[in-house]
Amino acid sequence: MLKFAARTATVTALSCLSLFAASHRNGPLLLEDQTANLNDLYAFRSYETGRSDRLVLSMSVQGFQNPDNGPSYYKFSDSVLYRFNVNNSRGLDGNPDFVVDFMFKTLLRPNPTFVSYFGALKGIDDPGIFLYQTYVVAVRNVKTGSTVFYDRDASGHLLSVAPPNLGPKSTPNYEATFGAPSVFTLPNGMRVFAGPRDDAFYFDSAATFDTLNFRSPAPVLSGSADSGQGAAYPAAADGFAGYNISLIAVEMPITLATVDGTLPTDPKAANAKIGVWATTQRQLVTVRPSPSDPVFYGEFQQVDRVGNPLTVEALIPLPLKDYWNRSLPANDQQFAQYIGDPFFASGVLNGVFGLKVPPAPRNDILGVYVPDITRIDLTIAPTPAASQNRLGPLAGDNAGWPFGGRRPIDDVVDIGFRALAGVLVPGYGVAPNNQLGDGVNSNDVPLLTRFPFHAAPHAGYLHSNISGTNGRGTATGQ
């Protein structure tokens, strides 16, 4: 069992807390700009039946959404450009070759009420959706500058945002009536989705931020605590259970994302691997001529980015987080001193818990995080949903993070704990390094096995919070 080193001051543990865990609070400035605050990026070969030749990208924003937070609920910002970046050449240098942008527009339909949604809604075109959002998708080849815009699907329907899940009276049979119909097929064969979803991220954030006050059996997992469902609340507590996020997702043919437009089969080929990251951007100047609406001017500037999970949370020092969020992956070498000698490994795992960890420079971590892009080996076949392992490559399931991209099921916290402890470095993949975990082993509700893969959003009328740990949550509106 791990024990605190007697010489370690409490301040050491406290100083690390702002550096670990994807808490959905990715920098001080973003606390003031939640609609541009990226939470997680998912990128993987589709494991939906019959669609393994497709690539799925999704980003979540505006975390910790209380499902019953009416009357306005949550929305995408009309002034934020949400972008997927794909790097498929030059050895994956962190510069985009292909981007997909989402831009939103809000229509407040005339009505005499004080609410955004009213009555028993019958579908995504119901006139009772008073706060009605649509969006435009722009697909751009960065090399040629060629850009194609889509505001309607292949059938001519406006691309619209799924409404929130209010409850069984207002949004009955949510997924069949509102969720699935909000998946649109574009004329170019892509599928897109935008709207509220259950937050697929799972992690005992409260225990970690209470000065590493882990609940038994964490932080060293063994037997069924590691391979099984995981402990029920209160032995484990998923701080993200019962909350929603706003999800943007796109599914495309893999050939659209590769450098030569072909489906790779050889892992050594130039087109075998791609890198992906998401960004949010705002125009340079905002003028608020009250009482008139704000006016925006100038070029779009990056506000936030996310590539791999845990980067800004676990590896970037607090004073540099906002600067990191605005910088480009191509320039990530400037952060190598922090990533190659992570304080969480040297100051916490070694300094606090006394674990033996690899010495700096940590080339195993640098190879993943510099540049900070989620890498996908497109020659790795997707693992069927029923056979997926939350520990991904650490458990022989190479279709998970960090080799095969990142799927919603991937337990990036436990994988990250163990990777920082050095399990991928010869001689360090031993107990307890390879047993570290927070005790939360799965999402609070079952994931979908089809696009967009995140579960339906929790209903405002009924939702579970931390008691829904490890798959014991209340699935509403499925």
- Which pLDDT does position 414 carry in this prediction? 97
pLDDT, mean of residues 61-74: 93
- pLDDT of 23: 57
* Strand 273-287, strand 38-45: pairing: unpaired
Whether 440 shows a pLDDT value over 50: the answer reads yes
Residue-wise pLDDT for 265-274, tens only, equals 999 999 999 9
Q: Which residues contact 282 (CB under 8 A, 6 or more apart)?
A: 36, 79, 80, 81, 296, 300, 301, 303
pLDDT score of 9 more than 60: no
Q: pLDDT band at 463, cuts 50/70/90?
A: confident
Quick one: which of 375, 369, 407 has its CA closest to 391? 407
Answer whether residue 7 shows pLDDT above 70: no
Q: What is the pTM of this model?
A: 0.94
| Span 152-176, average pLDDT | 97
CA-to-CA separations, 383 to 44, 276, 396, 404, 455, in angstroms, rounded: 10, 20, 11, 10, 19
Residue 25 has a pLDDT of: 67
What are the start-end ranges of the E strands in 307-402?
374-377
| Other Cβ atoms closer than 10 A to 430 | 12
pLDDT at 77 exceeding the cut of 80: yes
